[in-house]
Structure 1
Amino acid sequence: MQIEKSVTDGVTVLRCDGRLTMVAAPALRSAVEEAIGGGARRLVVDLSTAPFVDSSGLGALVNGLKAARVAGGDLRIAGASEQVLSVLSLTNLDRVLKPYAGVAEARDGW
């Protein structure tokens, strides 16, 4: 999995390209930690090109949310596939990691 970082209007977007599994989860954790360490407080994880997320990927997202909130910010997810939305719903994580249709929608309200 590749992670591309961009910053627009104070919002850091981490675009995950590929399956977010136990192999890729550490890379997402590192990218979130690096962004927060660099001063980012508003993060969006763009999952529009991540067709699959397993439990390790969910753990990385939850850890990222926790780290962002501890730093005084927030983490949102955008562009999740039907599979990812289903997993979020089944685990009730959609209540904590509210999914947004796209990056633009996730940025709104900040």
Structure 2
Amino acid sequence: MDLQVEIMEQDEETAVLAAAGEVDAYTAPKLKEALLPLTKKENFLVKVDLKDVSYMDSTGLGVFISALKSTKENNSSMKLVHLQDRVLRLFEITGLIEIMDIEWGANG
């Protein structure tokens, strides 16, 4: 399955990046290419909507780790929202849920 990545909303302080499909070794570079530039804007919030991501592997986690590192370096922030249970479980198992801003409820 392919991955679609789209910046849904953007203003001077916030962007919403929506991803749909599967994030794996083949599709992760597409996500990284869209996400990393947003994390390099100072005092900027990037919300990553993962409600339509049905699968993610360690390569996908690596993209989010890189993005988190970039937010720290650039005084920006990232919030992951609307994670499906399967994807959320991956963040729980790896302990990333402890260091990343993740909101998995319906109102994320």
Q: TM-score, normalised by structure 2?
A: 0.85
- 2:38 is aligned with 1:35: yes
Percent identity reads: 23
Indicate the residue corresponding to 1:70 in structure 2. 73
Distance 1:71 1:37, change over 3 A: closer
* Paired letter, 2:89: S
- 2:54 is aligned with 1:45: no
Unmatched 5+ stretches in structure 2: none
* Paired letter, 1:68: T
**Deviation beyond 6 Å, 4+ runs, structure 1:** none
Distance 1:11 1:104, change over 3 A: farther
Count of aligned positions: 105
Equivalent residues in 2 for 1:1-110, closer than 5 Å = 1-5=3-7, 6-8=9-11, 10-37=13-40, 41-101=44-104, 105=108
Distance 1:39 1:103, change over 3 A: farther
Q: TM-score, normalised by structure 1?
A: 0.83
User: Can you list the C-alpha shifts for 1:3-62, whole angstroms capped at 9, x where unaligned?
Assistant: 110215721111001101111111111112232456672111110000111000000011
Distance 1:102 1:7, change over 3 A: farther
Distance (Å, rounded) in 2 between the aligned partners of 1:57 and 1:94: 14
Aligned partners of 2:41 and 2:74 also within 8 Å: no
Unmatched 5+ stretches in structure 1: 106-110
Q: Which of the pair is proportionally richer in strand?
A: 2
